[in-house]
């Protein structure tokens, strides 16, 4: 009897197996049985035709409401070759509310069985004809007559049960053909070994694997179908969580260099000189990091938090502990603007403690080196020498830190800021510069939903900063709908003038730099929001700055900042804005993270619907960092009722970054979040939903942790070990590596 790893060719035949492989990459019995139905139709209940989208290969259950056949004549001068009759069979099928047009060319015999009142499954590519949805020459399977038709040679299978599985299909391979193959396999399948241990199945009332596979494809009742889906979702969650638990366990086994706190060192001096009080969250996470750094094995921790919650101070205190213990810390930033901002902020925070070897240096003290790809040769040589010689206890840089020739005297801690901008290979390249594996702290100012933290970042220990430091001013947000009330945009420019008159500053953010054809600085998650965005290209920094200077902001000092400016020019622009010489900064998303100008109180985001929700939240965090309240205005042409407009209204209604992160997850494809889209391979995660299965994922994580602690190599659970190995192979671990 065939098992899950049996090639389909030996079960369904060579010709059918070839089609399954070519159309859907289904090669083994396992592949076919894990190709789950996308929905289930109930015989007698028709498919909602409103779900159809132009261009999709659709299968619908509908009832024929109109049939009309007629002959067509060829065009042009009559001749024996072109003067022949052609036949067009037109019909309409309905779900009771909406209709779908079906057309058959030169197939008049179909009218004998396709009659008004007959129901069936109809499959084909949805097209648009005269503003109406249409299927051309569709394949079909009828239920209300003894006859049925299929353009292929296979016989029509009659469905015995009330629930009819509708499979993801293609133009070459229809849903009912897949269903017949599944039935053939299930009828002869050797019950597979169950990868979920019996005690876990019993503890969570899960059906066994063999029953689950039968009931997801051929359910006898909705209740059995639900139980089967729950069980197979558990398979995916547990396999993933065991993989992550093994990764965490393996990292705990790697020997590292402990970097315990040293009394009387830089960290104590820094704490004593702090002009503000650390929040309770900063103190608590600081204690966790201090304990991690003092252990024999490398720390591998994710620090997430609200915009402006003080993650930089937390990271700096960890870096100072490592420096006190004789090591160095490297801070990796995704852009030169952010790297320069970090270097500047760290020097300001440390003051004399960062001036080792200079007049006015404190005792003790260290140095901060900055290394970027566009530095001049003298500055680069100096930074490389300070890193290699150990003079610089903290080295801040961009991808330039990863290059050959960059060496450290004793790299003890790697801090990765805005970790989603880097792949695991890049982080590993920096870790490899340590003589022994260094501690790793990855940070994000984009809060991460709990389910994402347990899956995509499940190999990391996580800490979250939710509390904002005292003195942070409130930020109000509003949507400016220019199509409905263009005068509101004029009022936005007036509001900027009012703020500037009070000595404050403003940002104006645009999606691109200039010429769209050559613009390489589009937002990272630029949104394609439908037909309303096809009327014009996104607004550009250079164009908007020129219009503002000559128009509503005439007389104010307006400057531009974008990624294509030379490094010295970027630094000069940011310096003038930070010191208050510039009133308004018109920029791309280079100001999204790390830019800290307490005097900036207004942000206007142009074409706001073209940005992701988390990105809008990040941008909004650039204001309200001082004593005056902040105002963020999302300018859009998206109409009322559109999904784009609803997204903007939602992000404007809350300043809770964790709520925004959940909203963002709801609008993104989960495959992208899990990374399957980047891996280029067939994902095994078919049922697991980060939105729907939060509690199930938590339970699977607890079960996986206990399993791995008791049996790290899963020797007592060979079926589960095989699934874990297969997951790592099929996905190349891409979703685990956040590449």
Read off the tokens for 665.
Answer: 């997850």
**Whether residue 664 sits in one domain with residue 687:** no
Assess if residue 330 is contained within a domain: yes
pLDDT of 311 reads 87
Nearest of 41, 24, 35 to residue 171 by alpha carbon:
24
Secondary structure class of 560 (helix, strand, coil)? strand
413, 436, 465 - which closes a domain: 465
52, HSE (Cβ side, Cα atoms, 13 Å): 29
> In this structure, what are the phi and psi dihedrals at residue 413, rounded to the nearest 5 degrees?
-150, 130
Q: What is the pLDDT of residues 607-650, one digit of tens each?
A: 999 998 888 988 998 898 888 999 999 999 999 888 889 989 99
444, 465, 486 - which closes a domain: 465
Q: What is the pLDDT of residues 566-621, one digit of tens each?
A: 888 988 998 899 999 999 999 998 887 667 788 999 999 999 999 988 889 889 98
**Whether residue 521 sits in one domain with residue 423:** no
- State the residue for tokens 């063999």: 210
**Whether residue 568 sits in one domain with residue 435:** no
What would the DSSP string read from start to end of 171-201? SSS-HHHHHHHHHHHHHHPPPPPPSS-HHHH
650, 668, 686 - which closes a domain: 668
Classify residue 205 by its DSSP letter.
T
| Cα 320 to Cα 303: distance, rounded to the nearest angstrom | 17
pLDDT of 27 reads 95
How far is the CA of 356 from the CAs of 181, 193, 267, 274, 392, in angstroms? 74, 64, 15, 19, 9
**Whether residue 420 sits in one domain with residue 276:** yes
Nearest of 286, 280, 309 to residue 299 by alpha carbon:
286
Residues of the chain with pLDDT under 50: 76-83, 146-161, 516-534, 671, 675-682, 730-739
From start to end of 570-611, where are the E strands? 584-587, 600-605
**Whether residue 573 sits in one domain with residue 711:** no
Nearest of 708, 719, 662, 726 to residue 459 by alpha carbon:
708
**Whether residue 703 sits in one domain with residue 658:** no
pLDDT of 521 reads 43
Split into its structural domains, the chain has a count of 3
Secondary structure class of 591 (helix, strand, coil)? helix
Q: Are 724 and 239 in contact (CB under 8 A)?
A: yes
Q: Are 161 and 225 in contact (CB under 8 A)?
A: no
Tell me the CATH number at 397.
3.40.50.300
User: Pairing state of beta strands 300-305 and 367-371?
Assistant: unpaired
**Whether residue 574 sits in one domain with residue 538:** yes
Nearest of 461, 464, 345, 443 to residue 394 by alpha carbon:
345
Q: Is the dihedral of CA 349, 352, 357, 363 positive or negative?
A: negative
CB atoms within 10 A of CB 205: 9
Q: Are 241 and 458 in contact (CB under 8 A)?
A: yes
Q: Are 347 and 341 in contact (CB under 8 A)?
A: no
User: Pairing state of beta strands 411-417 and 328-332?
Assistant: parallel
Strand order across the beta sheet in which 600-605 lies: 475-481, 630-636, 600-605, 505-509, 584-587, 558-561
- State the residue for tokens 């053909």: 177
Query: What is the domain extent for residue 461?
Result: 266-465
Assess if residue 540 is contained within a domain: yes
Nearest of 402, 415, 421 to residue 442 by alpha carbon:
415
Residues 6+ apart with CB under 8 A from 290: 261, 318, 321
Residues 6+ apart with CB under 8 A from 397: 330, 331, 332, 333, 339, 370, 371, 372, 383
Assess if residue 48 is contained within a domain: no
Nearest of 500, 477, 734 to residue 608 by alpha carbon:
477
Residues in the chain: 739
**Whether residue 598 sits in one domain with residue 484:** yes
**Whether residue 512 sits in one domain with residue 458:** no
Q: What is the CA radius of gyration of the chain?
A: 31
Assess if residue 530 is contained within a domain: yes
pLDDT of 57 reads 82
Assess if residue 108 is contained within a domain: no
Each residue of 394-420: b (16+ CB within 10 Å) or e? bbbbbbbbbeeebebbbbbbbbbbbbe
CA-based diameter of the chain, in Å? Answer: 104
**Whether residue 448 sits in one domain with residue 327:** yes
**Whether residue 567 sits in one domain with residue 484:** yes
CA end-to-end span of the chain = 41
| Cα 462 to Cα 455: distance, rounded to the nearest angstrom | 12
pLDDT of 34 reads 94
Assess if residue 260 is contained within a domain: no
| Cα 707 to Cα 724: distance, rounded to the nearest angstrom | 13
| Cα 698 to Cα 241: distance, rounded to the nearest angstrom | 9
How far is the CA of 99 from the CAs of 50, 61, 63, in angstroms? 9, 12, 9
Assess if residue 191 is contained within a domain: no
Secondary structure class of 370 (helix, strand, coil)? strand
Assess if residue 385 is contained within a domain: yes
**Whether residue 552 sits in one domain with residue 652:** yes
């Amino acid at each position: 009897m065939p098992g899950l790893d049996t090639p389909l060719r030996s079960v369904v035949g060579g010709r059918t197996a070839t089609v399954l492989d070519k159309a859907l990459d289904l090669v083994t019995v396992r592949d076919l049985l894990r190709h789950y139905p996308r929905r289930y139709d109930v015989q007698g209940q028709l498919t909602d035709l409103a779900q159809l989208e132009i261009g999709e290969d659709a299968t619908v259950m509908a009832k024929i409401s109109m049939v009309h056949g007629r002959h067509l004549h060829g065009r042009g001068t009559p001749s024996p070759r072109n003067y022949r009759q052609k036949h067009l069979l037109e019909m309409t099928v309905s779900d009771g509310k909406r209709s779908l047009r079906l057309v058959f060319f030169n197939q008049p015999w179909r009218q004998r069985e396709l009659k008004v009142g007959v129901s069936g499954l109809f499959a084909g590519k949805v097209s648009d004809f005269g503003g109406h949805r249409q299927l051309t020459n569709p394949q079909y399977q009828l239920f209300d007559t003894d006859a049925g038709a299929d353009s292929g040679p296979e016989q029509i299978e009659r469905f015995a049960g009330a629930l009819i599985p509708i499979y993801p299909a293609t133009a070459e391979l229809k849903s009912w053909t897949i269903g017949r193959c599944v039935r053939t396999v299930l009828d002869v399948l050797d019950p597979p070994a169950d990868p979920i241990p019996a005690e876990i199945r019993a503890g969570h009332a899960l059906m066994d694997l063999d029953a689950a596979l039968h009931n997801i494809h051929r359910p006898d009742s909705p209740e059995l179908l639900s139980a089967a889906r729950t069980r197979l979702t558990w398979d995916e969650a547990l396999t993933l969580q065991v993989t992550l638990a093994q990764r965490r366990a393996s990292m705990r086994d790697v020997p590292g260099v402990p970097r315990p706190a040293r009394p009387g060192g830089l960290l104590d001096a820094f704490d004593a000189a702090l002009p503000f009080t650390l929040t309770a969250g900063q103190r608590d996470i600081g204690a966790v990091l201090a304990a991690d750094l003092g252990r024999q094995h490398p720390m591998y921790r994710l620090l997430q938090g609200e915009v402006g919650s003080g993650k930089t101070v937390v990271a700096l205190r960890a870096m100072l502990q490592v420096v006190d213990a004789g090591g160095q810390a490297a801070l990796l930033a995704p852009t030169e603007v952010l790297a320069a901002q970090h270097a500047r902020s760290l020097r300001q925070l440390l003051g004399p403690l960062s001036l080792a070897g200079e007049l006015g240096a404190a005792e003790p003290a260290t140095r901060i080196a900055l290394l970027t790809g566009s530095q001049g040769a003298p500055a680069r040589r100096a930074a490389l020498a300070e890193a290699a010689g150990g003079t610089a206890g903290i080295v801040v840089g961009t991808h330039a830190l990863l290059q050959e020739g960059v060496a450290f005297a004793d790299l003890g801690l790697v801090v990765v800021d805005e970790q989603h901008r880097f792949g695991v290979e890049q982080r590993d390249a920096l870790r490899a510069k340590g003589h022994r594996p260094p501690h790793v702290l990855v940070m994000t100012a984009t809060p991460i939903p709990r389910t994402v933290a347990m899956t995509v970042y499940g190999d990391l220990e996580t800490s979250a900063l939710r509390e904002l430091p005292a003195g942070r001013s409130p930020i109000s947000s509003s949507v400016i709908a220019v199509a409905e009330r263009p005068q509101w945009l004029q009022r936005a420019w007036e509001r900027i003038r009012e703020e500037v008159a009070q000595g404050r500053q403003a940002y104006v953010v645009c999606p691109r730099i200039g010429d769209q054809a050559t613009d390489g600085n589009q937002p990272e998650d630029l949104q394609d929001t439908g037909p309303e965005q096809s009327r014009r290209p996104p607004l550009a920094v250079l164009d908007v700055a020129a219009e503002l200077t000559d128009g509503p902001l005439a007389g104010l000092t307006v400057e531009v900042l974008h990624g294509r400016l030379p490094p010295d020019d970027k630094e000069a622009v940011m310096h003038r804005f930070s010191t208050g010489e510039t009133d308004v900064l018109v920029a791309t998303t280079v100001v999204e993270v790390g830019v800290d100008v307490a005097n900036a109180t207004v942000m206007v985001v142009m074409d706001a619907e073209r940005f992701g929700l988390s990105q809008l939240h990040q941008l909004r965090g650039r204001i309200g960092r001082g004593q005056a309240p902040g105002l963020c205005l999302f300018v859009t042409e998206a109409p009322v009722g559109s999904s784009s407009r609803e997204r903007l209204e939602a992000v404007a209604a809350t300043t809770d970054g964790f709520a925004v992160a959940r909203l963002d997850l709801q609008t993104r494809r989960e495959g992208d979040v899990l990374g399957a889209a980047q891996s280029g391979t067939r994902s095994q995660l078919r049922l697991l939903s980060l939105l729907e299965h939060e509690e199930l994922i938590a339970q699977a994580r607890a079960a996986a942790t206990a399993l791995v602690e008791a049996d790290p190599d899963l020797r007592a659970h060979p079926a589960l070990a095989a699934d874990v190995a297969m997951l790592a192979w099929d996905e190349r671990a891409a979703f685990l590596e956040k590449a």
